[in-house]
Amino acid sequence: MSAATTTPEDLNPFHIAAQQFDRAVACMPDLKKGLIDCFKRPNRTVIVEFPVETDDGSIRIFTGYRVLHNQMRGPGKGGIRYHPAVTLDEVRALAAWMTWKCAVIDVPFGGAKGGIAFNPKEHSAADIRKITRRYIAELGDLIGPYTDIPAPDVYTDARTMAWIYDTYSMMHPGRNNLGVVTGKPLDIGGSHGRQEATARGCLFAAERALLRGLSPGRDGVDGARVVIQGFGNAGGNAAQLFRDAGATIIAVSDSKGGIHNDDGLDLAALAAHKEKAGSVVGAHGTRTISNAELLGLECDILIPAALECQLRADNAAAVRAKLILEAANGPTTPAADRILQERGIPVLPDILANSGGVCVSYFEWVQNNENEQWDLQEVNHKLRVKMERATDAVIEQQAQLNRQRGQLPADPGPTDLRTAALVLAVERVADVALKRGIWP
């Protein structure tokens, strides 16, 4: 066996983010070396360790992180994740991706991310409320409406955001604090359309990219056969919205496994089953499959909407989708990217495809600052405009990079959409950094 086949793939998300960045920077010979070094590191990394007295009467120590990657284009912005696998390197990667995402979708935010390493499924709502409040209290003034603004991510939701807002507001009485966090409930400064914004943005990006010829023989989502990994905020809403747009959802999964019905899933029945059973697995009229099987199903669009590193060196060759739409952050490793590119399977990358979430978070923040509430139609229209503009910009950047290949010191090969999106983002952030000037 060759060394290449025995070396395990590096699945550290921060290393993966760095590899993606290096690939983009190879196409940008004029980017200053100092800026490259600056963009590879987060601006600020905070670790908090704090005790919480849980329902069972014991006192447990929790470890929380908040990383501010870059704030050249505006305050830090990024979700908070509650998951046992949260690590500092994962949060650092997610924060960097947020910087690039905010630049691609062109909202005036930098990148940040947070997380607490614990399993919320093993805790009561009262425990989770205490853990959330203590974490936010520990972060103190490191977050704020004009400095660093959290949002939901894996296993956090509008209820968690309400607790974050309330805790911060208790610490800063007498002023409008609504802009400290987005993804809040509608009656606490939330925005219409935020709940399903990530999925809706995915749909708008996919429709635009297909219209522009990304997947030969298909000019829209109507009639597409779609497979979705993950059935939470991003994946569950994507199932509904893609179905409403005329697609057939043939398989979905969650942390307990997957289900498949080649004739299409009954989403109403599925939602009711998930509500009762706690998983999609076992829904009437479906065949149970593993997450590995799900990723290899033949389909028009595969939407990874769960966690990082799902498409890797060891399974990318088995993918039989015609297009991959990254609702999740970091679902495809660099090795998988290369395999998929060689096989002619385009990947609409996370920093474009799932940027609808942060886009409507930005709309929420604007509404909070103006004490306004826009109606759903207005939010969705504005989201569509932003997603289509960003999709066009990434596709045009890819074409431009492919035209310029011959002029580079070393030919980086054909440019994929991830690299094009990153080049677009890095150029936008670098441009602002140089215009502002490096302090002092």
Three-state secondary-structure class, residue 424: helix
**Given the complex with ligand NAD, which of 69 and 218 has the nearer CB atom?**
69
132's CB contacts (< 8 A; 6+ apart) are 160, 163, 164, 167
Task: Determine the length of the chain.
Answer: 440
Determine the size of the site formed for ligand NAD (CB under 6 A).
24
CA angle 158, 160, 166 (to 5 degrees): 100
Q: At what angle do helices 197-211 and 376-404 cross, to 10 degrees?
A: 50
**Given the complex with ligand NAD, which of 327 and 429 has the nearer CB atom?**
327
435 is known as an active-site residue: no
* Residue 114 touches ligand NAD, criterion: CB under 6 A: no
The correct pick among 43, 70, 160, 198 for binding ligand NAD (CB under 6 A) is 198
Token code pair at residue 114 = 């947070």
Rg (Cα) of the chain, in Å, rounded? Answer: 21
Minimum CB distance to ligand NAD, residue 363 (Å):
13
Subset of residues 250 to 309 that bind ligand NAD, contact rule: CB under 6 A: 253-255, 291, 305-307
The correct pick among 27, 319, 327, 393 for binding ligand NAD (CB under 6 A) is 327
Q: From 8-16, 228-236, 262-270, 432-440, give the range in contact with ligand NAD by CB under 6 A.
A: 228-236
232's CB contacts (< 8 A; 6+ apart) are 154, 155, 254, 305, 306
Residue of 32, 40, 101, 113 marked active site: 113
The correct pick among 114, 145, 152, 349 for binding ligand NAD (CB under 6 A) is 152
Subset of residues 328 to 387 that bind ligand NAD, contact rule: CB under 6 A: 328-329, 354, 357
Q: From 28-36, 53-61, 133-141, 231-239, give the range in contact with ligand NAD by CB under 6 A.
A: 231-239
Q: Which residues, in sequence order, are bridge partners of residue 287?
A: 260
**Given the complex with ligand NAD, which of 42 and 357 has the nearer CB atom?**
357
CB-based contact 64:116 (threshold 8 Å): yes
366's CB contacts (< 8 A; 6+ apart) are 372
Subset of residues 158 to 197 that bind ligand NAD, contact rule: CB under 6 A: none
- HEC per residue, 39-106: HHCCCEEEEEEEEEECCCCCEEEEEEEEEEEECCCCCEEEEEEECCCCCHHHHHHHHHHHHHHHHHCC
Subset of residues 307 to 326 that bind ligand NAD, contact rule: CB under 6 A: 307
The correct pick among 110, 232, 334, 346 for binding ligand NAD (CB under 6 A) is 232
Minimum CB distance to ligand NAD, residue 190 (Å):
12
CB-based contact 92:67 (threshold 8 Å): yes
Which residue ranges make up the site for ligand NAD (CB under 6 A)?
152-155, 198, 229-235, 253-255, 291, 305-307, 327-329, 354, 357
| Residues with catalytic function | 113
